[in-house]
Structure 1
Amino acid sequence: MSNGRDGVAPRLQPSDLRFDPPEVDEDVRRVLLRQHWGLEGSLNRLDGERDQNTRVTTSGGDVFVLKIASSSEDRSVAEFQCAALDHLAQADPELLVPRVVQAMAGERIVNLESDGVSMSARLLTFLPGVTFDSAGSLGPDALVGVGASQGRLASAFRGFEHAAATNFMAWSLDSGMVSNEELWTDLSPEGRACAAPYRERVESAASSLAGTRHQVVHNDGHRGNLLRRTQDTTDVIGVIDFGDIAKTAVIADLAICGASFIDCHPNQCAALGSIAAGYHSAMPLDSNEVDLLADLVLTRIVLGLLLVEYQARHAPSHRLTEIASELPSYQANLSRWGELDPSATTAALHHQLDTTERR
């Protein structure tokens, strides 16, 4: 946070939450690619909350993603993400996730000095496919597949440790951000009307995570990070964006995925049950974790509203339109999920998983 003056409490800054992607000129990025990876090609900007992301397409048709981290982010975070992708390549080679591309001198991460600021850069392979952003309401089998893909990732991460795995990650459900007074105070009237009735409930759920199983997980299995082959298919073929990976509660990983895929579904409880069944088939859950799931889905939606509203106030201009477009969905999803009886939802989830195990 910035320093307080005259007794005024310090305010959150984008760098506190790592919501400050750099702006590196295209000419600098071209020199970086040429010097360290020997690459030339067309450059196209990709969205990035904390990194400046660029799709690089060579004349031969090879495609990569250049990621330049914010100067506020310690190099160890990039090292953690690279190590995680390397681990997945060994633990489950058939998982379709990005791969780290070594520079010509053998580095996985290179230093970049631009306008007197030091940053780290890395290159990843680009995964082809179509996200689930426009997939609409998925059927039970497709939702089971979604859950299974995230459970498989979590299972592959078992035993993986890294010194930076417990670094602060704003989007983790146990980060403390869902209880941050400044975020609540600065909510818009519309956001406050949606979220305030559930504040006590979600803060209690987040605090309960301390007593659950923790490990490194993907932590970001939303519709925009899971890939299918075409607009007409629903099988998950790949997973992208490992920028939010963290050592956190396993059940939170499922809740994050569930919160995204139940959005706009006509039967949200049944949809979450299908996702949970798929996750459970690859990464078995215990009863206490399932007890928390309904409230953790709510926690994810509330946290999303808090952080997206914050970003709408502070994000660089090129991201504002996209961020603003997310707010109505968060508000609608929060209202619909919050109205469900959590006890009945939890009972239905247990029944779904018990039924799945007996098959």
Structure 2
Amino acid sequence: MSVPLRPLDQQVVVITGASSGIGLVTARRAAQRGAAVVVAARNAEALDQLAEEIRAAGGRALPVVADVGRQEDVARIAAAALAEFGRFDTWVNNAGVSIFGEIPQVSIEDMHRVFDTVYWGVVYGCLQAVEHYRARGGAGAIVNVGSLFGDRSTPIQSTYASAKHAVHGFTDALRVELAHEEDPISVTLVHPGRIDTPYNEHAQAYTEAQPAHRGMVYPPEAVADAVLGAAEHPVRDVYVGSQAKVVQLAGALLPRTVDAIMSWYMWPTQLDLDRRAVPREDSALWHAGYGGQERGSHVGWHRKGSWTVAATIHPVRALVGGAATAAVGLLTPRLLRR
């Protein structure tokens, strides 16, 4: 069933986890493109600054301080959006927090807290969105931000990966149920690879070394493009970065091989051995972390964008761009020989 979604400049977009990283970039880009944004997170100061910034540029923004791990807080986000704008058209479940540590090290309480935010926050948000779209009898979009680790678990971040697996499973089930009921609701799962955000600094670290991406790292703008593309055009899945798709395919086709690779590769590529980890009491697991920052302090190979996003959201533009790049590559040697 085709779901008719509004152009972004006619939408009200709810974004959780909007005080930093992917959520912050997505909110800024949505507002720049004319959407009204409802930005939610635990950091009141960061949200107020973001809302003031958007309003100063002529946009519309409503900050809502909320902990998505509490169902009543998520209900309050929806109520605030309806009170301010009368509706919302896209709900983006983005809030997340991680733990770095091997399984026997991590406390059960910390594991529960990750699931409260990463999994239950998505469930609560989806329930609010479905209720609103059904009540108003119109189309709407839900965009859940998953992870490459929701397709293939990783050591050291076992709790986060398990919670993202749950998000992926819940999203698949929700999509099928809505299709069965013929609800005009688009449900998209975004699969980011390693993204340059403060995610690692916010994480609860049981390791001595500071968590950090080492390897290929994509900009948060690539995830924002995937999210906002899905807000306008119904799409099932968007992989941010070829690494996310490769990991998903390899894990399904060659699981033992991937096990062997991860057993030696994932330890050195998730930690910066030259820095000590942020003290656990300063992490963002149990209270709001610092806000207002789009990027983190990773030491990997920083990419400028994602062709997988472009190919999914803007296939014609990606095809033209790829053809142009190939043409330049073919013609340049000939021109240099002249």
Q: Output the TM-score relative to the length of structure 1.
A: 0.27
Q: Relative contact order (C-alpha < 8 Å, sep 6+): which is higher?
A: 2
Q: Output the TM-score relative to the length of structure 2.
A: 0.28
